[in-house]
Structure 1
Amino acid sequence: MAAAQPVEGASPAKPAWRGGFGKLWTAAVVSRFGDSLRTAALPLLATTLTTDPFLIALVSACGYLPWLLFGLLGGAIADRVDQRRAMWAVDLVRGALVAAFAVAVGAGHASMGLLMALAFALTTLGTLFDNAATALLPSLVPSGALGSANARVMTGQQIAGGFLAAPLVPVLLAVSVAAPYGMDAASYVLAAALVASLRPSAPQRAARKAGSTLRGEIAEGLRTLRADRALRGLCAATTVCNIGMGALIATLVLHITGWLGAGQSGYAATITAYGAGSVAGGLLAQRLARRLGRMGSVLVAGVVQTGCLAAMGTVRALGVTVAAMALFGVMGMVWNVNLTTLMQERSPEAMLGRVSAAFRTLAVAGTPLGALVGGAAAASWGLNTPALLASGLFMVAVAALIPARAA
């Protein structure tokens, strides 16, 4: 049975910065800052180790595979344990792993195998951390403030990752090839200390049945997701959208530098526009939710994103692509904030980790599939084809959302 719903259109409460939410927000932003340093530096490091595109692609694949293998398990464990302790313990382990990696890089012992192992290990630990974080937030803020809290966390992360970390990477690399990874390790330790100081209210969990197993609890989470019409529709729509996103992201640099002929400066302008749009979307998400409701906001976001992708795939002009990606970023953040909030509002508190895991695992599966399809489409029919393919998939996702809106 879904949790009680706040009234759509009501003026929502805002989370207090003092206390638990402020610490969680700071931990999330600091951690994203460090992660962005690492993810920006890793491709540069990989290109010094190999010129084989397949090996470089394997590093990315190792960052997706754990969700497919362990995502459901991570959600079940998140519902069994103290989420705060799980989060800070995971961050300490991740900090130690990245610190060891920084030492290896600084000593000249980096290898493609080591990069793949790091990506796999960090994402494996992330399956527990991310599900626990989604489940922890409702215990730190009033139910009516969830939307505002999610928007503030996601906006802060976007600013930290897209506008603060990226320009710092060249500066750190000029100091030492290992510097970005050392700072990432430090960010994990600081985030762990902040999370460890939280004092959330304990979730209301019924005693586990005798003989209850992780497999049975995972199945219960899947059944709960399937039984909720709105969440089921959102999950299906997000999975289809992620296939389109995978196709677009994998080929975006070719779309801009090849089809548009805009070069690296054009690619940088497009990525910057998307980041700025995402920040603006974080500020807009709650206003749209008050006017249209959460499901209505997600539906509008999908319609607008469909149009943005269609414009990118048909109009051969950098200005149109930059504007389309900025608006795409706005609506992407509107989608993500309201989706996450709906999941937190509609899931039973004691099962939020499992519902989140089921949702994420199914949705994440679409991205690598889309990357493969997008690459094949670009090679066969032209470099603008992935954007058009993504537009069509987003249209299908919007159609899946229409019946879910009435739930």
Structure 2
Amino acid sequence: MTTNDSDLRPAVESAVPSWRGGFGRLWSAAVVSRLGDGLRTAALPLLAVGLTDSPLLVSLVTAAGFLPWILFGLLGGAIADRVDQRRAMWAVDAVRCALMACFALAVWLDEVGVALLLVLAFVLTTLQTLFDNAATALLPTVVPTAGLGRANARLMTGQTIAGTFLGAPLVPLLIGLSAGLPFAVDAATYLLAAALVASIRSAPRERAPRPPGRTLRQDIAEGIRVLWRDRVLRSLCTANTVVNIGMSALIATLVLHVTGWLHAGHSGYAAVLTAYGVGSVAGGLAAGRISELVGRTRALVAGLVLQSCALIVLGTVRSLPVAVVVLALFGAMGMLWNVNEVTLMQERTPAALLGRVSAANRTLSTAGAPLGALLGGAVAAAWGLNTPALAAAALFACGVIALLPAVIN
């Protein structure tokens, strides 16, 4: 068994990204924006529950956040490769700031209905398809290639801390002061993030002349071809899609697993979510060192194996303390996956195609999320509340198999 060129360990993690300059500002913008996202993500369902008693309508608010990735994800990647990524990011954040400010005003004036929530979730995620793909393409312009792994780890760890441990817990306090306050703060975070991104000074990327009459459809097709022809990226995308189906099955039914099968109540559910968040932060802090020791693709395979084992334990051992421990491990290995997945894509994809290749990967993995949620609900209804975790374990094991071509030459 041998590793790929991108897995040569002495070279991959040797450079440490500097906090000064472009990376520091990009990191700050990402963390501030995720803080606002955490506020909005936690506050929107609470607002929806106050507006309707229909579980279907409440769930549609979440579904509206998935749909744009399926409809426009590939288009967002193609546009990100055509434009200046830095300008696209701050312009998108400026628009999102205006939208959230107007929405906060509507909440204060008590002029909000479920239809407005659906439209807001859909539009914000549509804008995010351009923002996220542009951000993936921008990072290699402000960080040396050898420092991408550590840069991604720091970005994702900071975002996890901001969204999970700062944003969500603040929501009850802010709502207690005013129902519209979480959304007003979210608007302010978008404005600050836009200013930070706009201040980044990165070297302009050289672009090959675009053939006359080149269409966005042709650009999208080129990105898909590059993803498919690269053995490592193809394996990574396949594994990511399968794993995301399992992840969605678990997330959709985790509250039932904890409160119903474990009989741990709401406090138990809060405990496992906290454990998952703590594990994710720990995984982000350790991702660089682990990748340095074993290589990126091997780290991905080892992480999926450990996650599969954690899910088997979760689905067979009826104990809240055990669930807390295994979900902490699951979160740590999930962050290891996220860091190395993005870094491998940035290392192996030509700069001019990074937005499109990233978009193709994200679109496929996101498309599996609704399927996974339905699978989790169906399995739980048919065979018991613990079985979605076991089904997810099987899918994670399939992800390991899908990754093997990336490790074996």
Q: Same fold (TM over 0.5)?
A: yes
Which amino acid in the other structure matches residue 7 of structure 1?
L
Whole-angstrom distance in 1 between the partners of 2:276 and 2:137: 28
Q: CA deviation at 1:199?
A: 1.1
Residue pair 1:102, 1:181 contacting (<8 A) in 2 also: yes
Whole-angstrom distance in 2 between the partners of 1:211 and 1:38: 41
Which amino acid in the other structure matches residue 22 of structure 1?
G
1:350 aligns with 2:336: no
Which amino acid in the other structure matches residue 362 of structure 1?
L
Residue pair 1:9, 1:292 contacting (<8 A) in 2 also: no
Amino-acid identity (%):
64
Residue pair 2:8, 2:295 contacting (<8 A) in 1 also: no
Q: Which structure 1 residue ranges, 5 or more long, are not aligned?
A: none
Q: CA deviation at 1:204?
A: 2.7
Whole-angstrom distance in 2 between the partners of 1:43 and 1:58: 10
1:8 aligns with 2:9: yes
> Match for residue 146 of structure 2?
144
List per-residue Cα deviations over 1:151-182 (Å, max 9, x = no partner): 00000001111111122111101110000000
> Match for residue 117 of structure 1?
119
Q: CA deviation at 1:328?
A: 0.3
Picking from 30, 37, 40, the partner of 2:39 is: 37
Residue pair 1:29, 1:160 contacting (<8 A) in 2 also: yes
Whole-angstrom distance in 2 between the partners of 1:5 and 1:76: 25
List per-residue Cα deviations over 1:40-83 (Å, max 9, x = no partner): 11111111111111111111110000000000000000000000
Q: CA deviation at 1:110?
A: 1.3
Residue pair 2:157, 2:284 contacting (<8 A) in 1 also: yes
1:25 aligns with 2:43: no
Whole-angstrom distance in 2 between the partners of 1:307 and 1:380: 23
Whole-angstrom distance in 1 between the partners of 2:291 and 2:10: 7
| Residues 181-260 of structure 1 mapped to structure 2, 5 A cutoff | 181-260=183-262
Which amino acid in the other structure matches residue 164 of structure 1?
L
Moved more, 336-345 or 10-19: 10-19
Picking from 96, 100, 112, the partner of 2:98 is: 96
Q: CA deviation at 1:406?
A: 3.0
Whole-angstrom distance in 2 between the partners of 1:406 and 1:355: 23
Whole-angstrom distance in 1 between the partners of 2:384 and 2:402: 28
Residue pair 1:225, 1:232 contacting (<8 A) in 2 also: yes
> Match for residue 61 of structure 1?
63
Q: CA deviation at 1:381?
A: 1.1
Residue pair 2:305, 2:400 contacting (<8 A) in 1 also: yes
What is the alpha-carbon root mean square deviation over aligned residues?
1.2
Whole-angstrom distance in 1 between the partners of 2:157 and 2:383: 37
Whole-angstrom distance in 1 between the partners of 2:352 and 2:100: 32
Whole-angstrom distance in 2 between the partners of 1:234 and 1:373: 22
Residue pair 2:7, 2:297 contacting (<8 A) in 1 also: no
Q: CA deviation at 1:376?
A: 1.1
Q: CA deviation at 1:209?
A: 1.1
Residue pair 1:9, 1:289 contacting (<8 A) in 2 also: no
Residue pair 1:151, 1:337 contacting (<8 A) in 2 also: yes
Whole-angstrom distance in 2 between the partners of 1:133 and 1:304: 30
Residue pair 2:6, 2:344 contacting (<8 A) in 1 also: no
Which amino acid in the other structure matches residue 199 of structure 2?
S
Residue pair 2:136, 2:355 contacting (<8 A) in 1 also: yes
Residue pair 2:17, 2:150 contacting (<8 A) in 1 also: yes
Residue pair 2:257, 2:385 contacting (<8 A) in 1 also: yes
Aligned residues: 405
Whole-angstrom distance in 1 between the partners of 2:230 and 2:250: 30
> Match for residue 370 of structure 2?
368
Q: CA deviation at 1:6?
A: 7.2
Moved more, 161-170 or 5-14: 5-14
> Match for residue 339 of structure 2?
337
1:172 aligns with 2:157: no
Q: Which structure 2 residue ranges, 5 or more long, are not aligned?
A: none
| Residues 241-320 of structure 1 mapped to structure 2, 5 A cutoff | 241-320=243-322
Residues 1:202 and 1:6: Cα distance change in structure 2 (over 3 Å): farther
Whole-angstrom distance in 2 between the partners of 1:117 and 1:180: 18
Q: CA deviation at 1:288?
A: 0.9
Residue pair 1:15, 1:145 contacting (<8 A) in 2 also: yes
Q: CA deviation at 1:9?
A: 3.6
Residue pair 2:7, 2:295 contacting (<8 A) in 1 also: no
